[in-house]
Chain A
Amino acid sequence: MHRLSSRVLDALLLLWLVTTITFALVHMAPGDPATLLISPTASAEEAARQRTSLGLDAPIPLQYVHWIGGVLRGDLGVSLVRAEPVTRVIADALPVSLFLGGVSLLASFVIGTILGMIQALRASRRADHVITMVTTAIYAAPSFWLALAMVTVFTSGVVWLGLPDFLRLPAFGMQDPAADPASIGWVDRWRHAVLPLLVLSLPGAAGMSRFARRALLEAADAPHVQAAYARGLSRGSVERAHVLRNALTPLVVLFGLTLPGVIAGSVFVEQVFAWPGLGRTMLSAIAARDYPVVLGLTLVYAGAVVTANLLADVILLRLDPRRRAS
């Protein structure tokens, strides 16, 4: 219990550090958001008045104290461009990214673990080689390029290759823009979601399978596994009770390690497929120098990563009694 609370404290300290660093980065940058927001024809007094109302005239340390105070109260400030609270801007975009990230994290874990199991425990050496080659290539592919390649294959490519027509998938947006919003069914929504989810899950699954394969091979080498075979246990039961359980438990931690990749991937995927999630919001906020939104989103991203790491740590402690003693 004591260790858990000290870890939570560590995580909070880390988040404070992250916000301070981003605040410094954003405010050290050359350029002034006011020049983008205040009309160039405004008189000097009018410009000064708007500066004051945007809070951009205060000294930087004061702005920092003001901002941190707001964060502690759950107030991330007001978007300079959209004139809405930043929390509202984030809340609008969050469900889209949660859906994309959640489903693809789950999919990459399931697919990756199964692939790793096939490679390590069952398949011939040739299948192992082929899967390794494919996953290495997918893991190395930039997600925006993977997205464009998928779009090519599943739109015009379907015609060139003579594939059945239902494989022609929509490449942009979350639903059919021509259809009546009330009558859009699940089929249309899922057809729009297939390509973004695929592009986000494949690299994760590829990385996951590499870890799973290594972990399983190492676990299968352990002396107690040989002892279990020597006692005459069947291959299936040894693999279930002694190999899989030992090897797959540590993979839970990868949840924390995979998340930054999924976040980065979702920036590109949302951009290419025009899904209005956090990544797209981030890109437009950066382009418009919307400081409060950039700061708020960075905090959300860092919070997600820190929480995932903390969770992975705690889960591992519960699953693996050996770690509790040390």
Chain B
Amino acid sequence: MTPKLVTAKLVTARLRSAASSGAMTERAPRWAAGVLVGMTMAAMVVPALAPDGVRDIGDVLATRLVPPFSRDGRGVWHLLGTDAFGRDLLVRLWTGARISLGVGVTGTALSGALGILLGALAGWRSGVIDRAIVALGDALLAIPRLVLLLVIASLWGPGLGVVIIVLGLTGWMSVMRLVRAEVQGVRALAFVEGAQALGVPSWRVLRRHVLPNALGSAMVAITLGVGNAILLESGLSFLGLGIQPPASSWGSMIAGGREWLLVAPWIALMPGVALVITVVACTVLGDALGDRRAQREIR
């Protein structure tokens, strides 16, 4: 058993231990799904509906650093206050959500697709290809993902596209391992052998008969990966190596609020609250999905 297999074993152990998830109530996944849907809606609607002047930099001295739940110098009420340039934080938060959520989902979708592709390839074809893919995955897992992200993102020049691609290239390993194991398991079953014996081309066997059986556990890992990707994007943006101004994500908003921390802490802290809620919702949803699968397996 290689060191990395221990990781895979722990992940599967986690999936299997559904019977003991007493603390997760029945309603938690529904709440989590509701929160995520609500956030996506707000990210689409709020910036579009915001009245003119709340979003732009105007009369800075009259409107800057307004605390939450209070009115600025012109009498406009701000739920979350304003930032150092007098921009309404609520509107900025949901504008930033577009990038934070968007990058998290597309980055994870990319890494998930890559993981499924490579996992299917490695599991279906044993031999050199299999060993090469597994070795590459092990090597990438040995470098902490943040370090990998830092090196690539900074050397290739930060930006939206680079962040998404880099998240995709550094996150496929766990999905690959799961899909590979499942494909290897399914490959030996009678109905696959039967299909092959009937002369069905192997890509078709793989697509029609093997992959549908192997995708369930990959979906759990991908759902859990979204929260992680959102966190990593925020980290890169916080260090100035992710989303570049004038665009902003929750991470870069926290970085921007850092110098006002002692005067107006809400600027840096509010986006973090949004981050925590989003990531918790993703985790709860992913865990629930995993538990459901594990229970089905037990039955």
Contact = CB atoms under 8 A, between A and B. Distances in A.
B275 interface: yes
Nearest to A326: B1
A140 B151 contact: no
Interface string B137-163: 011101111110011101111000000
B3 A256 contact: yes
Contacts of A119: 23
B17 A218 contact: yes
Interface in A144-180: 144-146, 148-149, 151-152, 155-157
A144 B235 contact: yes
A17 interface: yes
Contacts of B21: 214
B280 A14 contact: no
A310 B3 contact: yes
B43 interface: no
A287 interface: yes
Given A128-B22, A142-B251, A253-B6, A137 B154 contact: no
Given A29-B155, A142-B234, A155-B262, A14 B275 contact: no
Interface in A228-262: 253-254, 256-257, 260-261
A22 interface: yes
25 contacts: A14-B135, A14-B139, A18-B142, A29-B155, A132-B24, A136-B280, A141-B272, A141-B276, A142-B234, A145-B272, A145-B276, A148-B254, A148-B272, A152-B261, A217-B17, A218-B17, A221-B20, A263-B147, A264-B144, A267-B150, A271-B239, A286-B241, A294-B151, A310-B3, A312-B3
Given A283-B150, A305-B142, A128 B283 contact: no
A312 B4 CA distance: 11
A149 B154 CA distance: 27
A286 B239 CA distance: 12
Interface in B218-237: 227, 231, 234-235
A37 to B, nearest CB: 16
A227 B79 CA distance: 59
Contact of B14 (A15, A144, A214, A256): A214
A129 B143 contact: no
Given A30-B156, A145-B254, A152-B261, A313 B3 contact: yes
- Please give me the 4 A-B residue pairs with the lowest Cβ-Cβ distance, nearest first: A309-B3, A29-B155, A145-B272, A140-B279
A162 B265 CA distance: 17
Given A128-B22, A214-B14, A21 B265 contact: no
Contacts of B146: 263-264, 267
Interface residues of B, number: 56
A26 B239 contact: no
A260 B280 contact: no
B143 A18 contact: yes
A25 interface: yes
A282 interface: yes
A14 B239 CA distance: 29
B276 A140 contact: yes
A100 to B, nearest CB: 15
A301 interface: yes
B6 A14 contact: no
A306 interface: yes
B298 interface: no
A263 B144 CA distance: 7
A42 B84 CA distance: 43
Nearest to B153: A286
Contacts of B268: 145, 148
Interface string A274-307: 0000000011001101000010011001100110
Given A13-B135, A218-B17, 18 more contacts: A7-B3, A14-B138, A22-B143, A26-B151, A29-B156, A137-B276, A137-B280, A140-B275, A149-B269, A221-B19, A263-B147, A264-B146, A268-B238, A286-B151, A301-B143, A305-B144, A309-B4, A313-B3
Q: Which of B24, B140, B150, B152 has the most CB of A within 10 A?
A: B150
A11 interface: yes
A40 interface: no
A18 B139 contact: yes
Interface in B103-136: 135-136
A314 to B, nearest CB: 10
Contacts of A141: 272, 275-276, 279
Given A18-B142, A282-B150, A289-B155, A313 B6 contact: yes
Contacts of B24: 132
A129 to B, nearest CB: 6
A125 B22 CA distance: 9
Interface in B190-244: 227, 231, 234-235, 238-239, 241
Nearest to A265: B146
Contacts of A301: 143-144, 147
